[in-house]
Amino acid sequence: MSYTKEDVRRYHSLPRPGKIEVMTSKKAVSQDDLTLAYSPGVADACRDIKADPSMAEKLTGRGNLVAVVTNGTAVLGLGNIGPLAGKPVMEGKSMLFKLFADVDAFDIELDCTDPERLIDIVKALEPTFGGINLEDIRGPECFHIETELQKAMNIPVFHDDQHGTAVITGAALMNASRITGRAVEDMKAVVMGAGAAGMACARFYAAMGVKAENISMFDIKGLIHKGRTDLSDVQMTFAQEEPAPGSSIDDTLYAALKGANLFLGLSGPGTLKADMLKGMAESPVIFACANPVPEIGYEEAKAVRPDAIMGTGRSDYPNQVNNVSGFPFIFRGALDVRAGKINEAMKIAAARALADLALEPVPDDVRAAYHGRNFSFGPEYIIPMPLDPRIIEWVAPAVAMAALESGVARGSIADIGGSVEAYREILRKRMAAARARSLAHCESYMK
């Protein structure tokens, strides 16, 4: 859709400023209600939690509450705009948690660029939240921050800029492999953008089976190789042995793309030239994810390589790579079995579930949400559309089961109904009720 700045301002400011608010979940219309909700009755709930901390999940909203935390140092494509200017994005993220998975989320913007101080602040939030979603924190600090918080905290800590993109593109890559008949283990990949998302995707692809030596990564200075002295330890993981031939980034990118099966762009508009695609292998996979303008346009890429399987971050072209297809449902599954972390097994399970869902017939309500577009598994449809309501029924159970099987869950299968099918039914009913409440609440503002 096209929009103006005034449309955006109107949406964000009316009928009340912002995109989220706090609502009560218990009635409080009588003295008896207040006695139970606050003084003196609340003291009994406090004593129960003091005696058994796990009771906090049953007596408070902590088990369904996620903090969306940023310091505003890498907000969307806007860069280091600071925590206050980043708040609309974090409110939007919190809104998506609620709309897509009925996860309560609250945005926390921290005026803090010192990684160690930020780690200490977030660690101190653990009594309040059941999970931490780190967002829009620049690299390479984001790697250290997430790693240290995962070590120190007993709740899931997930940097979505890294892992959300990895899960979605990983799912798309699984299905591209199905379509082309080319094993992931045999693929040669080129990643343009060696920041948080690029590094996480490379690591995720390696976990899927892509050989590290077959992943060529580029940053703003060119190919990442072992002769460079300006790289972080994380970036060195995928450093090539030798510099690529050529005197410019374009030259080295041309060389790296010869025979490549996959291009992943997480950089900026126009960084991939059409001529560069000519040397790629048969049926190349091109994920040009820069937003809102990708590294190469869909029509431009298809004109040169009509055999390409292409995805972008845009909803007006096939195969939209959008993190909203991942993070709400990953947290939903993790929270429901009280996982202490989101590990590699859970992320791979999420990607596989997304990939498998794309093989299923697409119901009419999903087609209607996209103006009647026709979807069937193939090069133009390798991942489910973000507005597909079935995603939660596929991804959350896959994540929950992976958490249980890998030993990071404090709960049991009984907490999710005793079986995957029972859990899917619980989720179906939960989301129907949540959508009805949300719609009624929003409509009340319009009266």
Any binding-site annotation on 57?
no
Any binding-site annotation on 175?
no
Neighbours of 285 (CB within 10 A): 29
Any binding-site annotation on 161?
yes
Any binding-site annotation on 291?
yes
Q: List the catalytic residue out of 11, 38, 221, 258.
A: 38
Q: What angle do CA 102, 107, 109 make, to 5 degrees?
A: 165
> Do 316 and 2 meet the contact criterion of CB atoms below 8 Å apart?
no
> Do 161 and 232 meet the contact criterion of CB atoms below 8 Å apart?
no
Answer left, alpha or beta for residue 316, where phi above 0 means left and psi between -120 and 50 means alpha: alpha
317 is an active site residue: no
Structure token pair of residue 420: 């995957």
**Cα separation, 416 vs 174, whole angstroms:** 28
**Cα separation, 283 vs 308, whole angstroms:** 5
Any binding-site annotation on 135?
yes
**Cα separation, 274 vs 340, whole angstroms:** 45
93 is an active site residue: yes
Residue 74: C-alpha distances to residues 85, 96, 119, 139 (Å): 11, 20, 17, 8
Q: List the catalytic residue out of 3, 11, 87, 93.
A: 93
**Cα separation, 339 vs 35, whole angstroms:** 34
Structure token pair of residue 432: 């129907």
> Do 158 and 165 meet the contact criterion of CB atoms below 8 Å apart?
no
| Length of the chain, in residues | 447
Residue ranges of the binding site for (S)-malate: 291, 322
Residue ranges of the binding site: 135-136, 161, 291, 322
Residue ranges of the binding site for a divalent metal cation: 135-136, 161
- Positions marked active-site: 38, 93
